[in-house]
Amino acid sequence: MPNPGQPTIRPGATGNVVRRLQRALRRTPELELVVDGIFGPMTETLVINFQKASSLAPDGIVGPITWNALPDGGPMPLLVEGSTGAAVRQLQTVLTNGPGQSGIPSPGIDGDFGPRTKAAVEAFQRWGHVSVDGDVGDQTWAVSFQAAHSTLETQVGLNFVIG
């Protein structure tokens, strides 16, 4: 089960459980949805659309059956200067060949989030019109690759989702 133990939620709910729902919906993919932790009209509409497409009762309420049908809504890891590992290596691969890198030296693909990777992330954040801080968190993972109908997190690989 991709979203075990989640409570039933409905429009008006707020907090981390709504963020989990919104990340799961973005992975269907519903790229226009902002992960803000507020179960508002857009989230409700997308829940109903997902329920219809999944042959579930389209009531806008996210209970065990809907949670089970959704992709995993767990967060991607927070990657910052000093992070290491496979997720960093995949990020570096995407950044090396991805949008927003014009004029920026390649970060290298070594699995070590150093100053060059941070500079590449900052360039990508400027390109993606999100806050430029050099850290890869929810807002940066959610940057859309427009033409590819994907986001940074889908390009890097959702196998790094933290369950």
The answer to whether the CB of 111 falls within 8 A of the CB of 140 is no
What is residue 33's predicted lDDT score, i.e. its pLDDT?
85
Which domains, from first to last, does the chain contain? 16-69 (1.10.101.10), 86-160 (1.10.101)
Q: What is the pLDDT along the chain (163 residues), one digit of tens a residue?
A: 688 899 999 999 999 999 999 999 988 877 778 889 999 999 999 999 999 999 999 999 999 999 999 999 998 999 999 999 999 999 999 998 777 666 778 888 999 999 999 999 999 999 989 999 999 998 899 888 765 567 788 788 777 777 6
Computed on alpha carbons and rounded to an integer, the radius of gyration of the chain in Å comes to: 17
Q: Give the DSSP H/E element, type plus range, for residue 24.
A: helix 16-26
Rounded-to-integer distance, Cα 135 and Cα 125, Å:
9
What is residue 26's predicted lDDT score, i.e. its pLDDT?
87
What is residue 113's predicted lDDT score, i.e. its pLDDT?
97
What is residue 49's predicted lDDT score, i.e. its pLDDT?
95
The answer to whether the CB of 35 falls within 8 A of the CB of 22 is yes
- The predicted model scores a pTM of 0.78
Q: To 5 degrees, how large is the angle CA 138–CA 158–CA 143? A: 40
Neighbours of 20 (CB within 10 A): 22
Rounded-to-integer distance, Cα 120 and Cα 73, Å:
27
In terms of Cβ atoms closer than 10 Å to its own Cβ (0-12, 13-18, 19+), residue 123 is: buried
